[in-house]
Amino acid sequence: MKFSLCMIVKDEAAVLRDCLDSLKDIMDEIIIVDTGSTDDTRKIAAEYTPYLYDYVWNDDFAAARNFAFSKATGDYIYSADADEVLDRENQDKFKALKRVMLPEVEIVQMIYVTEQINHPTENFARDLRPKLFKRLREFTWIEPIHETVNVNPVIYDSDIEVRHRPQGNHSSRDFGVFEKIIAERGALSDRLMGMYLRELYKAGTEEELRTAEGFFERALIEKRAEAKELLCRQIIAVLLKIYRIADEPISVLKVALCEEATIPSAEMCMELGYFFMKKEDFEEALKWFHRAGYDCESDIDVASSGTSAFMALALCCRKLAKSPKFKALPQREYELEHSRLTQQAAEYEQLARDWKPVEPTLIN
């Protein structure tokens, strides 16, 4: 089997060499498409391949990847980003896969391992992603009667681990692309909307959130008419965050009373908790953070039902311990209450440190 590496890059000089060093002995050809680098990316790429192409960036990652794929001649195409690397063990696994690869396999999935501390929009440290693709797919007829073409790809879930080492948060770049699509088409696919919601909720600035406000207000009406309950709940969580940051209590109340919020998500509870914390109603905030951590499931940010909830509970306890309400108590009662709340805060902080999300099952 012949393997082609296809990459799109821009200003990746800091990481590109490590990526290519980990793949050069596996790939039969390396195709690199540069979308406008101003650093040494092109110079480094030229050390590894003569197949270096320029591509005028148009805010369309799919178009750029399709262009790169069109240059490949191998039996299979491996798609990589510059901030990915394979260690020695997984290089050996990849080489072994290449030796025994069955031509029936059309997609190979690999375990994508993300360094969470540098990637705020990811929920899990490990997940399966399609990485290796058969370049030319062969269609076959199936069923002895009422025959049809088999359109389901043959997918193999490998145990190869791809280490993702992001060099900063690219969310602002992504938001620009989302906004352009919305401006041109007026809508997003459900898949893209889910990704936009997650990135906005987890990493959006106040300005980026406010920019999306009108779009998601319209989208809530549309998705409600389409009975897309999960998307509605995700939109509600993001709108709650927007309204809470903007200090619009009437809007918070209206969206919090939506039918889809009857059984709230952890994110909805977190936003209501933050809302009451901002109003210095720490006892009410505690109730909502407790629901997020103990009673609800997350729809967008898995930490909303774990680390984030427990840290918010701890902060609330510490704020409450210093509040005028308790300071007005007789000295002995105040000391006891202060000690209780401080101890409770420490316990919540320990829970936050110990909490780990339940990772999705990778390989059956």
The pLDDT averaged over each successive group of 10 residues in the chain (364 residues) is 96 96 98 96 97 94 94 97 96 96 94 69 78 89 74 92 79 82 92 93 93 96 94 96 96 93 94 96 96 95 94 95 80 86 95 84 53
Within 8 A by CB and 6+ apart from 237, the residues are 197, 201, 265, 267, 268, 271, 299, 300
pLDDT (0 to 100) of residue 138 = 80
pLDDT (0 to 100) of residue 118 = 47
- The DSSP output letter for 26 is T
Measured CA to CA, the distance from residue 238 to residue 241 in angstroms comes to: 5
Tell how strand 126-134 and strand 107-114 pair up: antiparallel
Query: Got the DSSP string for 44-64?
Result: HHHTT-SEEEE----S-HHHH
* Residues, the chain: 364
pTM score, two decimals? 0.80
- The CATH code of domain 3-164 reads 3.90.550.10
pLDDT (0 to 100) of residue 364 = 44
pLDDT (0 to 100) of residue 126 = 83
Q: Tell me how many degrees the CA angle 307-130-235 measures, rounded to the nearest 5.
A: 45
